[in-house]
Amino acid sequence: MLGECTNLPTDDRLASIFELLGSQSVSDIISETPDTNDGKEFSGLARSLTNAARQALKKLGQYNEKDKRLPRLHLLILSGTHILVGLAYRTQSSPNAGGIMHLKLPKDAPSRAILKLEEAAISLLTIPEREHWLRSGMSAVDLGAAPGGWTWWLAQQGLLITAIDNANMSEAVMKTGQVEHIRADGFAWHPRHSVHWLCCDMVEQPDRVATLVTKWLKEGWAQAALFNLKLPMKKRYGMIQECMATLNTLRDTHVLRAQQLYHDREEITVLALPIA
Ligand SMILES: C[S@@+](CC[C@H](N)C(=O)[O-])C[C@H]1O[C@@H](n2cnc3c(N)ncnc32)[C@H](O)[C@@H]1O
């Protein structure tokens, strides 16, 4: 972030923004508002500010849309007089407006949770990784699977899934014919033969989940894992650091990627993929 502009004069917001930008050239300007009803009020201002800033930076010779290596100028409009100003390179920022990946819930999906898994697969895996790791005939264990959104999505990709949960799985999921449902405690059960994927969406303490997933991967019960760490009410950052320290003991064998997804901001989703 470059800085925060407060008490902006409404007849000239750009001067303070450009002061923070200095002589830096940019390849684009992205003005956004918070994803709230109050935030939407400023979407007109976001459009006009983008246009005005683009014209002004062109005149100053600080705008080159062809040079994609240049950062983009980000303006987060909190009100007509309060704007956060930042710079971000394309490779380090979301391609979606506001960082929001809009996904459609399929009509027959058993739960909204499938949107989390779909967003995770798109955000955390590259296209070649998705093609390699989400193929027909591959196997997965889904811990905390009920009512079955994640299991259903995995079945749509052609995987065969063992769903672990004491609660009931939806009929639509069981009808796929690709799912075995075992009523068991996800912390006690493990497969006899290694599976490709361990998925875990159990509502449990994040440090317990991090320890469990680490054990699965070290024991070779699964090759890769995709799972959620539910954020506690307090000391969220500290807890995630603690979980990542546990997971980092896998760094010689696995690549780890973690992200707070739009479709569930109360958790951190983590991917562990074996190093090729
Ligand atoms: C958020 S829901 C999972 C939603 C699911 N991923 C979906 O897409 O429909 C959490 C599930 O974890 C299960 N769960 C919590 N603790 C568990 C445990 N120790 N063993 C097995 N399942 C557990 C709960 O029964 C609940 O069904």
Q: Indicate whether 221 pLDDT > 90.
A: yes
Residue 229 is predicted with a pLDDT of 97
Q: Ligand 1 centre and the CA of 91: distance in Å?
A: 35
Q: Round to whole Å and give the CA distance between 231 and 243.
A: 11
Atom of ligand 1 nearest to the CA of 185: 20
Query: Residue 128, exposed/middle/buried by CB under 10 A (0-12, 13-18, 19+)?
Result: exposed
Name the residue with tokens 């979606």: 96
Q: Based on the domain organization, do 201 and 146 belong to the same domain?
A: yes
Task: List ligand 1's pocket residues with C-beta within 6 A.
Answer: 111, 113, 143-150, 164-167, 185-187, 201-204
Q: Per mean pLDDT, which range of 50-64, 106-120, 181-195 is the poorest?
A: 106-120
Q: Based on the domain organization, do 89 and 123 belong to the same domain?
A: no
Q: Ligand 1 centre and the CA of 101: distance in Å?
A: 24
Is residue 68 in some structural domain? yes
Q: Based on the domain organization, do 132 and 245 belong to the same domain?
A: yes
Residue 92 is predicted with a pLDDT of 86
Structural domain total, the chain: 2
Q: Round to whole Å and give the CA distance between 236 and 267.
A: 10
Among residues 211, 159, 167, the alpha carbon closest in space to that of 185 is found at 167
Q: Based on the domain organization, do 153 and 250 belong to the same domain?
A: yes
Q: Per mean pLDDT, which range of 72-76, 95-99, 147-151 is the poorest?
A: 95-99
Is residue 147 in some structural domain? yes
Average pLDDT over residues 116-127: 96
Q: Based on the domain organization, do 124 and 80 belong to the same domain?
A: no
Is residue 213 in some structural domain? yes
Q: Whose CA is nearest to atom 13 of ligand 1?
A: 144
**Residues with Cβ < 8 Å from 18, sequence gap 6 or more?**
56, 57, 60
Which sequence positions are flagged as catalytic?
A: 230
Residue 237: strand, helix, or coil: helix
Q: How far is CA 54 from the centre of its chain?
A: 30
Question: What CATH number is associated with residue 136?
Answer: 3.40.50.150
Is residue 151 in some structural domain? yes
Q: Based on the domain organization, do 159 and 63 belong to the same domain?
A: no
Is residue 44 in some structural domain? yes
Q: Ligand 1 centre and the CA of 148: distance in Å?
A: 9
Q: Are 141 and 121 in contact (CB under 8 A)?
A: no
Mutation to probe ligand 1, out of 111, 156, 202, 213 (largest number of atoms < 8 A from CB): 202
Phi, psi (degrees; rounded to nearest 5) at 67: -90, 90
Residue 54 is predicted with a pLDDT of 97
Strand order in the sheet with 139-143: 179-182, 160-164, 139-143, 195-200, 222-230, 264-274, 254-261
Average pLDDT over residues 17-34: 96
Is residue 79 in some structural domain? yes
Domain that holds residue 55: 3-94
Q: Ligand 1 centre and the CA of 64: distance in Å?
A: 50
Is residue 106 in some structural domain? no
Tens of pLDDT, residues 80-106: 999 999 999 998 888 888 888 999 999
Q: Whose CA is nearest to atom 16 of ligand 1?
A: 202
Tens of pLDDT, residues 224-242: 999 999 999 999 999 999 9
Is residue 102 in some structural domain? no
Tens of pLDDT, residues 154-166: 999 999 999 999 9
pTM confidence score? 0.84
